Structure 1
Amino acid sequence: MNATEKFHLPVDGILKMFNSLPEHHQSRITHTAHQTLTPVLQHPKVSNITKTGMGIIKTVKGCWRQQDGRVGSSRSSSSGNRQVSTDRLPKKRSVDRLELGLTKPRNCHRIVVLGAPKVGKTNILQRFLGKEFQEQYEPTIEDFHRKLFHIRGETYQIDLLDAAAEKDFPAKRRLSILTGDIFLLVFSLDDRDSLNEACELLREIKAAKAKLLKSKHPAKVPAVICGNKSDLDAQRVVRRSEVGTILGEDLPYFETSAKNGTGLESVFRALASLGGLPDETSPSRHQIISIPTYQSLCVRQRGRRGSRTPELGAPCAAVDPLARRPSFSSDLRLVLGSSTKHNKPEKCQIQ
């Protein structure tokens, strides 16, 4: 192979990478390459040309890293129907304490909230997060929240997924159901159709869980039923006796008002009981702190592990403002992993 062949070999590969970049990156690399190649062409040594090619490759890779960083930071998180750019958020990402091994798997749960539109699911979640009731209704596309707890020296992670709007996407909703550890089914006491929809959802959850476990019988579902809007007594059309007849008597049922808070504490305690979580996870039993304060508290707690008399402190919790729903591939791995505890299916049926 002569010197000319050695010169064109690296350049051919560089051109492929160069053409795949946006125009503003190409102009930047062209300027860098021109400044670097000019003295080389005046002294055409094969070794210098090879080093020049490697230098351009490093420049291309550096631009790719910068481009990937900008793409990652511009991805938006979903909260209701509002898209929030992470460019305006702190230069940090949501921390999944289970993935980092900072919280025991038995202390991490996902609560999936399902129900018809306009029954008050979002406001119930807002109450759990320690926020106020919102009078104005905004349709929810998908809400995902993460609340972190520090109770008696233990850390807990509760993920909340409002998947109600996935009705038109059966496969997506099936996946949401399969990843749920606990379910909150909400209907409105002034809307009989919402009760019927809650009944259909319960059947769907039981069928999905039974299929995952390859059981011939409907699976027992860790769910809580919530009849919301009890404050609208004059418009009430659903009676308590009807709920047991339609949904069964084996699930805990509570009548609530997200507006004035009636009955919500009982709902939150029931959810905690199903997940084996302490009662202090109820909003009235802990103090809300910021994420930096929570992280520093956990660091101090880890530093005292060797102490005989650790300072436990009062129960507290923090809402992660950067929490985003895990990717579908992560959810699929979670589902397949949970199914192997009972069976080893060839594939995960989510449709």
Structure 2
Amino acid sequence: MLAAAPPGALAQPAPPASAPCADLDVIFARGSGGKLNSVESLRLQAQVAAGAKAAGITTNFYELGSRPDQQYAYPAVSVNDEKGALTALGAKVSGGQAFEYGRSVRIGVADAVHYIAQRVEKCKDARFFISGVSQGAQVIGEAYRELPDNLRELVIFNALFGDPKLYLPEGQPELTAAGITYPRYERGERSEWRRGVPDPSTFVGSLGARTPYLPEGWTHTTGLWCNDNDFVCGSDLNPLVDSGHHQYDVENGPIDQAVREALDRFVHRPAVTPLVDARTTSREPTAVTQSPALSVSVNPTPGGTLLSWDAATNPSGGWVVQVDGVYLGKTQPGARSITITDFAPTRSTEFSVAPISADNLIGVGRAAYLHE
């Protein structure tokens, strides 16, 4: 059962130019035909309010389309009403880029980008958690791509649920004598943005893949969820199978998981050196790299926590570093150590390093602890 939202959780903000500054700005985009304060929106608001209170941080919530007096107001056009068949057909033949559906998406993208820009103009320390479901996931995914670098780097986490433009290259099928196989998935490769996607055959969404799915060098701050039995995001190819598409708001489900990750990322933001700016990480045009053998160690130093690793080869995409599952960023392919500062780990804190292929697939990594 959906938990009741705490007092004030449903209040929409004042227009962007005058809303009070908060530690974290939360943005949500509803799905096709969804009303404002849909079940997914309410779940997100309730979980953010509870988590933020526990963490001692302030938040400001904005749902795209909730301010019709603004220059842009995302309509979340329906694909199920009396005009829905034509709208859905237009979306399908255009890959979600034209006709009424495409217009709705473009307005939503403008709504999100405009709002973020206004918030940053008012609040110099603004940070954002952005999310969307179904059509709203497409809106948020494309808005994230449209943001200029100086605004995109302020997005703590980008959560996409049931995205019709999903792309998971490890789900690409291959026909062999033994039948259809998924060699990338079977090798243990996973897209950096993959979160709750149980079906290994999930490859592209119902409106075709957005490729690249994320801007180059910005793949570490997004999480993607696609439930089983969800035709919209491609976990089932039967258009009549969509029961999973209405399960993103269940208790301890995708929305809850995304909120926990977003707040954890915001609260635990240790300074890291010498991690390179992801935008400058080189990408060699090579085939998918195999995961090199790894050994990882963690040692305290006067300057912070030294995370070191040893490998025989350099992965094309560099290395991804995580602490307790929180992404810190990428290093250059030849890096073999980083120092993490402004952070006090315990003996149970998990530090992990994993290789990244040229097309941003994470290979098999290794974890280590202070006591190892």
The structure with the largest strand share of the pair is 2
The structure with the largest helix share of the pair is 1
Normalised by the shorter chain, which TM-score bucket?
A: under 0.3
Question: Which protein, 1 or 2, shows the higher relative CO under an 8 Å CA cutoff with sep ≥ 6?
Answer: 1
Q: TM-score, normalised by structure 2?
A: 0.25
Greater Rg over alpha carbons, structure: 1
Q: TM-score, normalised by structure 1?
A: 0.27
